[in-house]
């Protein structure tokens, strides 16, 4: 096992700021600076099962990055500060994340883009789309539960994309499973090899520090009385320093030495290439609540995580060092600022230099588009930016032109791929509680559909027809109702439907009409006017798929 020898920021970017050097006019990037800026970017997401501590970890990464000075916790019901990433009132009330946030900050010369995702499975669409924009993922585990169902689902998404995964075993301040058993369970359950990058240090079952195997240093932490609101102080001693034995209780020292010997003899070796291709995960141990182990984890993560790499497109891979700007929209959020009723499209920069006011080709429409008022985010807070680089996420003010998956830049033939589509699993008729608010109700449904909050279908193509909301999870209906009332002043009610199992239908018009008239089928139309069939039960669906060969059924919009 060898510790990486390269500097924390490859390319030698100065700590605490961007490398010096300008850029040519017109948004084109100076090649040397482009290489340096790409090297210091880290764009990542956190995946976990609900209640594994993802929101708390997010706060602590911001704390150590200097982006906030005092960490809050959504679990403290009486706290006056809510978690920075959970800016929506509903999230604050329920103590869960139901939207994706973009959190951007600097640490040790690196520019970090943390794509915080919903933990609840009912918001899988938003999470999966966000994972497409990430270059790596942090898999957060509860030390008492290990791999749970939601973790398994999100890991599978990352595995299919060969996304590098860094594992953090959280809540080590509480009694949990044996660390070695946790590693074995992860390997057996997920089919990925584990390398223990740090190892917990216990004194009579009390979590007191971590051993960093990459730097061969032991971090012994100091407990504070502020419940983790500020950074944890620590004493750092080399593993082979004779002073280590005196700095630890005898039992703790003996246990650590035995564990280190076992790991070196029987554990997997560190291979950086395997980390990058997603077949080996470095595993870290810590407590986001007390901050123990968080700073060693963050430093090692920045050292080992990859900078932005090539992105697949219709014309082949697009390298981040390609000189012209390209990017794609992976998220749209309406009403981030309710006072201004704004609509923000989140663009992941893939190549080149983004400059404020840049005019690019909008691939889907084939028309030039000026990217006005670019912004970067700290959850709800935002700041205007003049430039951004590959790996960065930029918010573009949008009046309804952009959609999720849109490609920006290129010559008209380039289109980024891999933004997943999903079929709703639950359906409900949506009705305004006040008929006089029908205009606001329709506007809210349209805008929430465009940002991917849910899908809206109609019983007819004529204006004013009955809207039907389709959702992946039941909680999405609660969020839709909440947002329609609080953001559009259009309270509504939902009537759940028994029809489910949507299929988009294409084929000769007469055959489509005949198929739609069958028993146990309900015809609706999506927002583009395409025909969608809902089925009363799974038997009706199977019968249609087996016998209706004159048309083609699609699980998602073709």
Q: Are residues 395 and 280 in the same domain?
A: no
Domain boundary among 379, 409, 439: 409
| Pair of tokens at residue 491 | 């309270």
**pLDDT for position 218:** 96
| Pair of tokens at residue 291 | 């901050």
Q: Are residues 475 and 537 in the same domain?
A: yes
| Pair of tokens at residue 295 | 């700073």
For the chain, give the longest Cα–Cα distance: 86
Q: Are residues 239 and 191 in the same domain?
A: yes
Share of the chain above pLDDT 90, in %: 53
Domain boundary among 382, 409, 436: 409
Task: Note whether 217 and 238 are within 8 A (CB).
Answer: yes
Q: Return the residue matching tokens 């141990």.
A: 285
Q: Are residues 350 and 207 in the same domain?
A: no
Q: How many domains does the chain have?
A: 3
348, 369, 343, 355: which is closest to 487 by C-alpha? 343
Q: Are residues 526 and 390 in the same domain?
A: no
Q: Are residues 103 and 58 in the same domain?
A: yes
**C-alpha separations of 138 from 44, 95, 153, 237, 553 in Å:** 7, 21, 14, 27, 37
**pLDDT for position 1:** 42
Asked if residue 234 has pLDDT above 60, the reply is yes
Strand partners, 416: 313
Q: pLDDT tens digit string along 333-363?
A: 766 555 556 778 889 999 999 988 899 999 9
- What single string gives the DSSP state of each residue in 310-337? -B-BTTS-B-TT-SS-EEEEEEEEE-SS
32 domain-assigned: no
Residues 165, 187: Cα–Cα separation, whole Å: 13
Asked if residue 44 has pLDDT above 80, the reply is yes
**pLDDT for position 71:** 52
pLDDT-derived band at 89, boundaries 50, 70, 90: low
Asked if residue 217 has pLDDT above 90, the reply is yes
Q: Are residues 383 and 492 in the same domain?
A: no
pLDDT-derived band at 491, boundaries 50, 70, 90: very high
Q: pLDDT tens digit string along 288-309?
A: 999 999 999 999 999 999 999 9
Q: Are residues 279 and 381 in the same domain?
A: no
**pLDDT for position 381:** 67
Domain boundary among 304, 339, 364: 304
Q: What angle, 0 to 180 degrees and rounded to 10, lies between the N-to-C axes of helices 149-160 and 179-190?
A: 60
12 domain-assigned: no
250 domain-assigned: yes
Mean pLDDT of the residues in the chain? 84
27 domain-assigned: no
Asked if residue 16 has pLDDT above 70, the reply is no
Backbone angles phi, psi at 288, to 5 degrees: -65, -25
Residues 401, 450: Cα–Cα separation, whole Å: 10
What sign has the CA pseudo-torsion 135, 105, 304, 166? negative
- Say which CATH number the domain at 441 has: 3.30.70.3280
435 domain-assigned: yes
pLDDT-derived band at 287, boundaries 50, 70, 90: very high
**pLDDT for position 26:** 42
Q: Is 340 helix (H, G, I), strand (E, B) or coil?
A: coil
pLDDT-derived band at 280, boundaries 50, 70, 90: very high
**pLDDT for position 419:** 75
Residues 386, 158: Cα–Cα separation, whole Å: 32
420 domain-assigned: no
**pLDDT for position 238:** 95
Q: Are residues 295 and 388 in the same domain?
A: no
Q: Are residues 100 and 207 in the same domain?
A: yes
94 domain-assigned: yes
- Which is higher by pLDDT, 523 or 558? 523
Q: Are residues 398 and 433 in the same domain?
A: no
**pLDDT for position 99:** 47
- Say which CATH number the domain at 379 has: 3.40.50.300
**pLDDT for position 82:** 46
Asked if residue 488 has pLDDT above 90, the reply is no
Task: Note whether 210 and 195 are within 8 A (CB).
Answer: no
What sign has the CA pseudo-torsion 319, 321, 322, 325? positive
Give 265-317 as a 3 state SS string.
Answer: HHCCCCCHHHHHCCCEEEEEECCCCCCCCHHHHHHHHHHHCCCCCCECECCCC
- Which is higher by pLDDT, 387 or 421? 387
**pLDDT for position 23:** 40
271 domain-assigned: yes
Q: pLDDT tens digit string along 109-168?
A: 999 999 876 655 545 667 788 888 999 999 999 999 999 888 888 898 889 889 999 999
- Residue 439: alpha-carbon gap to chain centroid: 33
Angle formed at CA 51 by CA 50 and CA 53, multiple of 5 degrees: 110
Q: Residues 181-203: what's their mean pLDDT?
A: 95
**pLDDT for position 418:** 74
Q: Are residues 201 and 284 in the same domain?
A: yes
Q: Which residues of 479-503 are buried (b: 16+ CB within 10 A; e: fewer)?
A: bbbbbbeebbebbbebeebebbbbb
Q: Output the pTM of the full model.
A: 0.79
Asked if residue 11 has pLDDT above 50, the reply is no
Containing domain of residue 490, as a range? 426-554
Task: Note whether 193 and 187 are within 8 A (CB).
Answer: yes
């Amino acid at each position: 096992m060898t510790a990486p020898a390269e500097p924390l920021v490859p390319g030698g970017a100065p700590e605490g700021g961007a490398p010096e050097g300008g850029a040519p006019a017109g948004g084109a990037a100076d090649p040397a600076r482009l290489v340096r800026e790409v090297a210091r970017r880290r764009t990542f997401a956190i995946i976990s099962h609900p209640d594994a501590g993802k929101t708390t970890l997010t706060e602590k990464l911001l704390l150590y990055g200097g982006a906030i000075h005092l960490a809050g916790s959504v679990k403290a019901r009486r706290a006056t500060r809510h978690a920075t990433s959970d800016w929506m009132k509903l999230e604050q009330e329920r103590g869960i994340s139901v939207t994706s946030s973009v959190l951007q900050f600097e640490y040790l010369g690196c520019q970090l883009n943390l794509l915080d995702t919903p933990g609840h499975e009912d918001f899988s669409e938003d999470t999966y789309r966000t994972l497409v924009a990430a270059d790596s993922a942090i898999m957060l585990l509860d030390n008492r539960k290990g791999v749970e169902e939601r973790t398994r689902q999100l890991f599978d998404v990352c595995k299919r994309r060969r996304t590098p995964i860094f594992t953090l075993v959280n809540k080590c301040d509480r009694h949990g499973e044996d660390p070695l058993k946790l590693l074995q369970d992860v390997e057996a359950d997920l089919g990925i090899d584990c390398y223990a990058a740090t190892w917990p240090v216990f004194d009579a079952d009390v979590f007191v520090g971590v051993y960093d195997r990459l730097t061969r240093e032991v971090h012994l932490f100091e407990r504070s009385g502020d419940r983790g609101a500020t950074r944890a102080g620590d004493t750092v001693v080399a593993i082979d320093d004779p002073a280590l034995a005196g700095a630890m209780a005898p039992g703790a020292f003996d246990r650590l030495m035995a564990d280190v010997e076992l790991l070196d003899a029987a554990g997997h070796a560190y291979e950086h290439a395997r980390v990058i291709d997603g077949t080996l995960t470095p595993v870290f141990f810590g407590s986001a609540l007390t901050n123990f182990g968080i700073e060693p984890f963050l430093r090692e993560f920045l050292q080992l995580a990859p900078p932005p790499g090539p992105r697949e497109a219709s014309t082949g891979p697009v390298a981040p060092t390609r000189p012209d700007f390209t990017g794609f929209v992976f998220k749209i959020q309406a009403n981030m600022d309710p006072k201004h009723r704004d609509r923000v499209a989140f663009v992941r920069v893939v190549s080149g230099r983004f400059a404020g006011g840049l005019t690019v080709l909008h691939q889907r429409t084939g028309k030039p588009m000026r990217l006005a008022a670019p912004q970067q985010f700290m959850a709800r807070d935002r700041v205007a930016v003049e430039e951004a680089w590959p790996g960065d996420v930029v918010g573009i003010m949008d009046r309804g032109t952009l959609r999720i998956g849109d490609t920006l830049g290129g010559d008209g033939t380039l289109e980024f791929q891999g933004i997943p589509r999903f079929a709703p699993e639950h359906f409900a008729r949506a009705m305004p509680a006040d008929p006089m608010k029908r205009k606001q109700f329709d506007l809210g449904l349209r805008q929430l559909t465009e940002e991917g909050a849910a899908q809206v279908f109609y019983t007819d193509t004529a204006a004013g027809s009955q809207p039907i909301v389709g959702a992946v999870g039941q909680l999405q209906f609660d969020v839709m109702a909440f947002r329609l009332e609080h953001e559009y002043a259009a309270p509504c009610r939902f009537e759940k439907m028994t029809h489910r199992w949507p299929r988009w239908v294409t084929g000769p018009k007469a055959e489509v009409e005949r198929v739609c008239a069958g028993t146990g089928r309900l015809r609706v139309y999506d927002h583009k006017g395409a025909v969608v069939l809902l089925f009363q039960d799974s038997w009706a669906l199977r019968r249609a798929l087996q016998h209706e060969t004159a048309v083609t059924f699609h699980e998602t919009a073709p």
